[in-house]
Chain A
């Protein structure tokens, strides 16, 4: 088995700070599907592009790093035996049929960092 990161490219993220369960129903359903299949290792939904801040050399700018029609709306890591299996899983993402797409990247290494407060939000 190998791990693949799936980067979700969409016009924007549906996960606004004030998003209702209806707004995120499609991606929630997909996340549930992947979870119950046992393929999902971890997943993050990101806030919309308006919330992004980019840093290049000395400059801090508003918005995503790459100025493009699509933005990374979220990412998740799946476990799959090979690329064909990863493709089969990744192409079921609803964004693929909704004008966006996904990028599959084999994971080299990584994972959660052991901390005293445990994994998760750094709320302090």
Chain B
């Protein structure tokens, strides 16, 4: 990878959302904005090759993308007058004329990602569309990756995103951060989507690397931004804490060869203690703000797992209790499945297996690789290696991440040796 290629890749990861958000306000059309941003990135390759990587690649790209948008608007003025445009507020930043110093411009460009996030996560859009749109527009993720993340075909995902954009324009979903009275309601949708981004990044839906650091980092960054926006919101803090605790283990989730390590096999001394401490402080303060919501409880669970000096010393009964409370505020089959893990330590693997087998009937978990994976572990602890191997194989078939697949393959083979 050349220096320019590396700079471009970096700018795509870091600046995409900022560039698109600023361009969308000028273009007043999400498709046009996307097109202009893509063009800007493409043109950067040649321009940066010729005259070097600019000091502020994001500002360079924003200027280039906005200029393209303005050109397109002039060119197709007649066509645009017949199309519904993105609703933006009047006090918007004027379009900067040519010749303005790029560095100055970068200072003048406010961080509009939040605006973009709120339009993507508008409750008038179906939640699956909100998540897809956020991944596409805020994270710049290609449609095939998004399709994979949501386990649908590429045309289905492309149609879903197109439909959502059409609704934003036609129903006039405004391009702005909601007013304070609407924020709590609107924030819930945003939190759910950020959490989804994190999970997608934490175990990338496909590919060789287990973690997609860019998605994970962006989710953490977005969660931080929301905490700043709503300092009084316990759930925003809970989400950030949850992401921090989960991500604190990033360095230890795979061994030197990139092979997946289970929680019990991870080197706890290498966990990010600063992140864990930051999360813990947030959890403590949020738990006081009764009653705790879904994210605060999830963070408390993750933190309890991380607190134990060793896996065997985990406070299992307290974990089961926390899962019970979580199930009350968020009755998800995934929560019920995860509860089976501490349950197996409190009530034994047999009881946990019965619970997992009960959940097998739940259609929502039918494509979820962690169900057969957890089942396999329980079967193996119960001394039923052949069944365990079969369950690991089943999990292997469902998993798409290469590191996970390699781990499940190893477990399946080990089991069949008996």
Q: Which positions in A face B, CB cutoff 8 Å?
A: 2, 81-84, 86-87, 104, 106
Among B168-176, B210-218, B285-293, B316-324, the one that faces the other chain is B168-176
Chain B CB within 10 Å — which of A82, A104, A106 has the most? A82
The DSSP consensus for interface residues of chain B is: loop
Q: Measured between alpha carbons, how far is A82 from B171 in the docked complex, in Å? A: 7
A-B contact pairs, 21 of them (CB 8 A): A2-B172, A81-B87, A82-B87, A82-B172, A82-B173, A82-B174, A83-B124, A83-B171, A83-B172, A83-B173, A83-B174, A84-B173, A84-B174, A84-B176, A84-B178, A84-B179, A84-B182, A104-B171, A106-B170, A106-B171, A106-B172
Q: Measured between alpha carbons, how far is A30 from B173 in the docked complex, in Å? A: 25
A106 contact set on B, CB distance < 8 A: 170-172
The DSSP consensus for interface residues of chain A is: mixed
Q: Measured between alpha carbons, how far is A87 from B182 in the docked complex, in Å? A: 11
Q: Measured between alpha carbons, how far is A96 from B122 in the docked complex, in Å? A: 20
Q: Measured between alpha carbons, how far is A81 from B90 in the docked complex, in Å? A: 12
A84 contact set on B, CB distance < 8 A: 173-174, 176, 178-179, 182
B87 contact set on A, CB distance < 8 A: 81-82
Q: Measured between alpha carbons, how far is A7 from B122 in the docked complex, in Å? A: 21
Chain A CB within 10 Å — which of B174, B176, B178, B179 has the most? B174
Measured CB to CB, the closest approach of chain A to B114, in angstroms, equals 15
A81 contact set on B, CB distance < 8 A: 87, 172, 174
B179 contact set on A, CB distance < 8 A: 84
Ranked 6 nearest A-B pairs via Cβ: A82-B174, A82-B172, A82-B87, A83-B173, A83-B171, A106-B171
B170 contact set on A, CB distance < 8 A: 106
Q: Measured between alpha carbons, how far is A106 from B173 in the docked complex, in Å? A: 11
CB-CB nearest in chain A for B179: A84
CB-CB nearest in chain A for B87: A82
Q: Measured between alpha carbons, how far is A2 from B170 in the docked complex, in Å? A: 10
Q: Which of B24-74 contact A (CB under 8 A)?
A: none
Q: Which of B174-204 contact A (CB under 8 A)?
A: 174, 176, 178-179, 182
Measured CB to CB, the closest approach of chain B to A49, in angstroms, equals 28
Q: Measured between alpha carbons, how far is A117 from B149 in the docked complex, in Å? A: 60
Q: Which of B223-277 contact A (CB under 8 A)?
A: none
CB-CB nearest in chain B for A88: B182
Measured CB to CB, the closest approach of chain B to A15, in angstroms, equals 29
Chain B CB within 10 Å — which of A86, A104, A106 has the most? A106
